[in-house]
Amino acid sequence: MHLDQVVLQFIALPLKSPFETSFGLERDKRAWLVTVRGEGVEGYAESVASDAPLYSEETSASVYYCIRDHIVPRLGGDIGRPEEIWERLAPLRGNRMAKASVEMAIWDWFARARRVPLHRLLGGREEARHIPVGVSIGIQPSAQDLVRVAADYWSQGYRRLKIKIRPGWDVEPLRAVREALGPDVPMMADANSAYTLDDLAELQAFDPLRLMMIEQPLGYDDYIDHAVLARSIETPICLDESVHSPADARKAMDLGACQVINLKVGRVGGYTASLGIHQLALARQIPLWCGGMLETGIGRAHNLHLTTLAGFTLPGDTSASDRYFAEDIIDHPFALNPDGTLTVPAGDGIGVKVDPKRLRAVSAYEEVLPVDRQDKGSRSSKGGFPDHDLG
Ligand code: OSB
Ligand code: MG
């Protein structure tokens, strides 16, 4: 199979309400949509990098330049299997979000060309049609607000509540939710690296709340301190930011730095790396769940296909489209089923497409990058990325 073009479209999609974490506040979902074209078929994905390097080192700008200058030039010639993309991109260090956005679109392209759903190409469980999901709740103005928001999501059917924390917004608001909703509600916290081992007393104070886990309490690049912390608290530790590869996952597991892993395809560089982590997690009996990055429906569809794999035993962060957006950009936005599941889209590839009218309303910039050097490509800016408005 041969690729002809990679199309980059930058979108800014308003969030229904701002999302606040220990590293910042997001008002819009700003992302690159990636379309790959060849053999008369298209494949779709999106980059999970944000404008500022707060969650990871990558940014919207770095993703653009990496795709344009380093990834697309490596996509020429025959592609026999989607796994080859990981090998072609392996000489490029880091830049995993950039790699993943193209690699994921190519997996979708392959699945569509073979007329199979993506989960089949990935080796997911055929019977996993409905995926139990949770919701991630940002930092709220008060504990009272948090209890109201948490109770609302719980009543909608979400299977677990993840609550963002930071020093000064941690045990008290979580205790308020525990007291309001009762001991049986599956709850967890995500610190996004806001603590250090000096905060051991605060982190131990979570123990009586019987959380499912605490996500990335310590350094975004750390396993050693997490391993120390794991021996000093009862709450299981889940790693997010500090796991970038199967090798990272193995080291974190060997050191006892985590009992759970949040797997985000974008963070680890694509599906081939994700499948490597998945295999390891199954072998070591480390539960996985699929994380999220406030994706549009395109990224949500990818997440659901991944979550059909057997190692995803805990509800993830792939909530319904209406949790973040008044209007998603896909033809069939995701709705929460009454049993707290999302339905894996049927059809070829990821099973959803961008709605062209919605896309026009939210797109700021478009560039066509030729894989075939004969083609000149094109650019059209509506005053968005990358000319202005880097955010
Ligand atoms: O740490 O999991 C995280 C969103 C942006 C960046 C990092 C994280 C998150 C979330 C939201 O927790 C997950 C989602 O609902 O998509
Ligand atoms: Mg996280």
The tens digit of pLDDT for each residue in 152-178 reads: 999 999 999 999 999 999 999 999 999
Give the integer Cα–Cα distance in Å for 77 and 88.
11
Check if 328 has its Cβ closer than 6 Å to any atom of ligand 1: no
pTM: 0.96
Pick the ligand that lies closest to the CA of residue 23.
1
Residue 85: pLDDT over 90:
yes
Mean pLDDT value of segment 218-243: 98
Distance 136 CA to ligand 1 centre (A): 7
Question: pLDDT digit string (tens) for 291-346?
Answer: 999 999 999 999 999 999 999 999 999 999 999 999 999 999 999 999 999 999 99
Helix (H) or strand (E) holding 44: strand 41-46
pLDDT of residue 391: 37
Residue 245: pLDDT over 90:
yes
Question: pLDDT digit string (tens) for 179-215?
Answer: 999 999 999 999 999 999 999 999 999 999 999 999 9
Domains of the chain and CATH, by start: 5-115+354-381 (3.30.390.10), 120-343 (3.20.20.120)
Confidence of residue 390 (pLDDT cuts 50, 70, 90): very low
Pick the ligand that lies closest to the CA of residue 153.
1
Q: Which of 29, 99, 264, 353 is catalytic?
A: 264
Distance 364 CA to ligand 1 centre (A): 24
Question: pLDDT digit string (tens) for 21-48?
Answer: 999 999 999 999 999 999 999 999 999 9
What's the residue count for the chain? 391
Mean pLDDT of the chain: 96
Residue 388: pLDDT over 50:
no
Q: Which of 29, 99, 164, 353 is catalytic?
A: 164
In the chain, the N- to C-terminal Cα span, in Å, equals 38
DSSP codes joined into one string, 299-349: HHHHHHHHHTSTTB-S-BS---GGGT-SS-SBSS-----TTSEEEPPPSSB
What percent of the chain stands above pLDDT 90? Answer: 95
Residue 95: pLDDT over 50:
yes
Confidence of residue 81 (pLDDT cuts 50, 70, 90): very high
Instruction: Note if 16 is an active site residue.
Output: no
Contact 85, 271 (CB under 8 A): no
Tokens 């392996």 map to which residue? 90
Distance 217 CA to ligand 2 centre (A): 9
Which residues place a Cβ less than 5 A from the ion ligand 2?
190, 215, 240
Instruction: Note if 99 is an active site residue.
Output: no
Distance 73 CA to ligand 2 centre (A): 32
pLDDT of residue 373: 64
Atom of ligand 1 nearest to the CA of 164: 12
What percent of the chain stands above pLDDT 70? Answer: 96
DSSP codes joined into one string, 275-312: HHHHHHHHHHT--EEE---S--HHHHHHHHHHHTSTTB
Check if 240 has its Cβ closer than 6 Å to any atom of ligand 1: yes
Check if 46 has its Cβ closer than 6 Å to any atom of ligand 1: no
